[in-house]
């Protein structure tokens, strides 16, 4: 049964029990509606308490239903029925009341909560807006300014904030139900609050809308739901609740069927599946308290910051005193920057730095449960590190390389206990970027794998398992993507036109702007090394630029020119002259054709990666692109795009 009922002295207790998160599906809606009707007719029932089983109230509508047509009874009707019930419903909330869960609670006459309660309408994250009256009831309960933050800007209210704003009528201690029953008995002797939808709301100053619109647009990254949520809020204030509800429903239904919402749902489920790969479910991770990081450069410091942020102790190994103090300074300035942004306090900065030990040489690594190597990307250098780690670390310590290209099996050659070794490919800046490619070798033990997935969870990363090949998943697709972008240049398509098309699609930067920012020289050196090994790597446009000294922003020019101190790319006649021998006659290509060609290339490489077993699923490839390479979230990823393109062709 997804909804349970108990009766306590004339009070019905309705518990939504639909594990794991009490999501509202058709069966729950049906049952709630039937119960509201039945209780109204039952003279023995005086009031109803609505609660959720387990640690949370209700996480919202069941998202798995959203790929199918809507099925009655509809949640807005259920909420309205509860709101108009003759017997008052009171929501008793612990933990999360999200989306449709909060909307159900808003339909109740009163809400009581424990200190663990939190309230949000995260629908915009799924490319939709609240669809069961949340846009109309919430502003009438907490006021328009706060409602804008919750409905359109994904702000979560904690229990204290909810009490202050009048969303929660009273706080109760655990155990929740006895407290709720006692509260309801007292409340029934007094006048009940007005239903949420009937509460008066005065029109706010016009600036509130214009300011909110600017704020939301600047954060939306092209997503349409947040601004539409604002429009619906505004409609309900200016034209009244009935018009607002009608507008809300129409907008919800149209967004629910949109490609953007499908893309965001795809990522929602992919992100959750990525945390728990089927083959290591049930394998216990090893305990991890102390982590070692070898190398305190940009990557090593970023990894150390991520570990310290997650509460681990860190031993950072550097070669000399200058390196060690530079690493400590880098970490101190990273944490101080977080403090300036108001994310952590001064005490937290000190506490994090207190968990950091910077050492010259390998002293201290014997205490580490895991050690991550982040030194120069050269096989001999990395092998030397692991030979030292093999000597100094405990035999059960997990050893990981942060290589982006080198075959981890070569790095591990000769390492004692190779089953504790694997690749952990972080992305720069490692304390910010969510992606973590996990690259086991054939020897890696299952509990080692389970442990690094657990570390990823603690670090707030999205872990994606990758097989061994040149560039793993992400850099392999990146190389194909760049090669195809350069092929477009050879076909005579303008550099700026290609970048503009990709920005229009939703990337923060086009491929050439991105290369200029990151520097063209690393990929060039990579190609040169392959040429030296005798591999047939043709001359690329990027090679001509690097040979002419144009390595990107750091040299004042690459694909574009840059004025001193200015990062804005300016079209470069000089670059065009250098590239002329490789460029075809200038041609105009529509933005969508450029995008389609680059998408097809990424997806093609993705399919090869899947066929070779380098990625476990198409969704994993999408996660790599979205969390490591700036692929626009609202587009779902290259494999999602391929699925859509195929579906449209049928
Ligand atoms: C909505 O409400 C629309 C309405 O306005 C209008 C309707 C008309 N549905 O995240 P976890 C699954 S839209 C179905 O790992 P945690 C999830 O896939 C909804 N399934 O746990 C996973 O499955 P599996 C608005 C859901 O403890 C399992 O539950 N609400 C839903 O880290 C555990 O999830 C939201 O957007 C769902 N709504 O975090 C809230 N939610 O085990 C979305 C979760 O097979 N949910 N699952 O991998 C969350 O934010 C988090 O899941 C939550 C728990 C904070 C609740």
pLDDT value at 313 more than 60: yes
121 C-alpha to center of ligand 1: Å? 12
Any atom of ligand 1 within 6 Å of the Cβ of 277? no
226 C-alpha to center of ligand 1: Å? 19
Mutation test residue for ligand 1: of 18, 21, 281, the one with most atoms within 8 Å of CB: 21
pLDDT value at 592 more than 90: yes
Q: List the residue whose alpha carbon is closest to atom 23 of ligand 1.
A: 272
Any atom of ligand 1 within 6 Å of the Cβ of 12? no
Any atom of ligand 1 within 6 Å of the Cβ of 334? no
- Rounded alpha-carbon distances, angstroms, from residue 221 to 155, 269, 640: 17, 21, 19
Backbone angles phi, psi at 15, to 5 degrees: -115, 120
Name the 3-class secondary structure at 501. Answer: helix
Q: What is the mean pLDDT of residues 402-414?
A: 92
Any atom of ligand 1 within 6 Å of the Cβ of 100? yes
Q: Residues 452, 454, 457, 463: is their CA dihedral positive or negative? A: positive
The predicted-structure confidence for 55-95, as pLDDT tens digits, reads as follows 999 999 999 999 999 999 999 999 999 999 999 999 999 99
**Contacts with 203 (C-beta within 8 Å, 6 or more apart), sequence order:** 237, 238
What is the reported pLDDT for 649? 67
**Contacts with 205 (C-beta within 8 Å, 6 or more apart), sequence order:** none
Distance CA 510, CA 560 (A): 12
Any atom of ligand 1 within 6 Å of the Cβ of 187? no
pLDDT value at 645 more than 60: yes
Q: Select from 220, 225, 277, 271 the least CA-distant residue to 251.
A: 225
Of all helices (H) and strands (E), which one includes residue 349? helix 346-354
Give the active site residues: 61, 100, 103, 123
235 C-alpha to center of ligand 1: Å? 29
Ranges of H-type helices in 491-613:
495-505, 511-518, 521-532, 541-547, 573-579, 591-611
What is the reported pLDDT for 650? 56
Burial (0-12, 13-18, 19+ Cβ within 10 Å), 44:
exposed
Q: Are 92 and 109 in contact (CB under 8 A)?
A: no
pTM more than 0.85: yes
Mutation test residue for ligand 1: of 59, 106, 120, the one with most atoms within 8 Å of CB: 59
**Contacts with 34 (C-beta within 8 Å, 6 or more apart), sequence order:** none
Q: What is the mean pLDDT of the chain?
A: 95
What is the reported pLDDT for 631? 97
46 C-alpha to center of ligand 1: Å? 33
pLDDT value at 474 more than 60: yes
Q: What is the mean pLDDT of residues 489-502?
A: 95
One-letter-per-residue 3-state SS of 317-333: EECCHHHHHHHHHHHHH
The predicted-structure confidence for 100-116, as pLDDT tens digits, reads as follows 999 999 999 999 999 99
What is the reported pLDDT for 364? 94
Q: Are strands 157-158 and 96-98 parallel, antiparallel or unpaired?
A: unpaired
What is the reported pLDDT for 540? 87
Cis peptide before 328 (omega within 30 of 0): no
């Amino acid at each position: 049964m997804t909804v349970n009922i108990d009766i306590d002295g004339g009070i019905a207790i309705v518990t939504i029990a639909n594990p794991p998160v009490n999501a509202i599906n058709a069966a729950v809606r049906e049952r709630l509606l039937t119960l509201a009707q039945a209780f109204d007719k039952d003279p023995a029932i005086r009031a109803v308490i609505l609660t959720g089983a387990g640690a949370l109230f209700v996480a919202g509508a069941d998202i798995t239903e959203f790929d199918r047509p809507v099925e009655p009874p509809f949640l807005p009707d259920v909420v309205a029925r509860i709101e108009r019930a003759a017997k008052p419903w009171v929501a008793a909330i612990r933990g999360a009341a999200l989306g449709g869960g909060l909307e159900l609670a808003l339909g109740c006459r009163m809400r009581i909560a424990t200190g663990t309660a939190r309230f949000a309408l995260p629908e915009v994250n799924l490319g939709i807006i609240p669809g069961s009256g949340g846009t109309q009831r919430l502003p009438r309960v907490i006021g328009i300014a706060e409602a804008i933050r919750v409905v359109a800007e994904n702000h979560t209210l904690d229990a204290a904030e909810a009490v202050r704003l009048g969303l929660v009528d009273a706080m109760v201690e655990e155990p929740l139900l006895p407290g709720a029953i006692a509260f309801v008995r007292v409340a029934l002797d007094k006048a009940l609050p007005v239903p949420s939808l009937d509460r008066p709301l005065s029109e706010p100053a016009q600036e509130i809308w214009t300011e909110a619109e600017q704020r939301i647009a600047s954060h939306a990254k092209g997503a349409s739901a947040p601004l539409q949520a604002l429009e619906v809020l505004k409609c309900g204030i200016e034209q009244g609740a009935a018009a607002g509800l009608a507008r809300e429903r129409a907008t919800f239904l149209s967004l629910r069927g949109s490609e953007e919402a499908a893309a965001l749902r795809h990522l929602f489920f992919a992100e959750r599946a990525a945390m728990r790969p089927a083959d290591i479910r049930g394998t216990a991770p090893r305990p991890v308290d102390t982590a070692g990081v070898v190398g305190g450069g940009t990557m090593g410091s970023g990894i150390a910051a991520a570990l310290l942020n997650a509460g681990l102790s860190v031993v950072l190994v550097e070669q000399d005193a200058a390196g060690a103090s530079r690493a400590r300074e880098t970490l101190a300035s990273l944490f101080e920057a977080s403090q300036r942004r108001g994310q952590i306090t001064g005490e937290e900065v000190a506490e994090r730095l207190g968990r950091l030990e910077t050492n010259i040489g390998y002293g201290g690594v014997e205490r580490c449960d895991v050690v991550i190597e982040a030194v120069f990307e050269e096989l001999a250098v990395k092998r030397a590190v692991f030979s030292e780690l093999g000597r100094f670390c405990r035999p059960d310590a997990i050893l990981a390389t942060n290589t982006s290209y080198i075959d981890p099996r070569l790095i591990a050659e000769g390492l004692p206990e190779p089953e504790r070794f694997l690749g952990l490919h972080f992305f720069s800046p490692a304390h910010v970027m969510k992606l973590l490619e996990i690259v086991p070798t054939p020897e890696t033990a299952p509990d080692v794998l389970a442990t690094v997935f657990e570390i990823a969870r603690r670090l707030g990363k999205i872990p994606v398992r990758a097989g061994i090949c040149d560039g793993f998943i992400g850099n392999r697709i990146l190389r194909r993507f760049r090669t195809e972008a350069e092929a477009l240049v050879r076909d005579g398509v303008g550099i700026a036109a290609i970048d503009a098309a990709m920005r229009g699609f939703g990337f923060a930067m086009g491929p050439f702007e991105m290369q200029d920012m990151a520097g063209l020289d690393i990929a060039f050196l990579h190609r040169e090394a392959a040429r030296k090994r005798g591999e047939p790597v043709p001359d690329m446009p990027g090679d001509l630029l690097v040979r002419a000294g144009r390595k990107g922003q750091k040299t004042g020019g690459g694909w574009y020119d840059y004025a001193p101190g200015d990062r804005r790319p300016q079209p470069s006649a000089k670059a065009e002259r250098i590239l002329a021998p490789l460029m075809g006659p200038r041609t105009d290509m529509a933005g969508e054709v450029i995008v389609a060609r680059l998408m097809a290339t990424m997806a093609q490489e993705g399919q090869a990666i899947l066929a070779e077993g380098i990625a476990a699923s198409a969704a994993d490839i999408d996660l790599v692109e979205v969390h490591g390479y700036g692929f626009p979230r609202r587009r779902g990823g290259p494999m999602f795009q391929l699925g859509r393109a195929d579906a449209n062709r049928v």
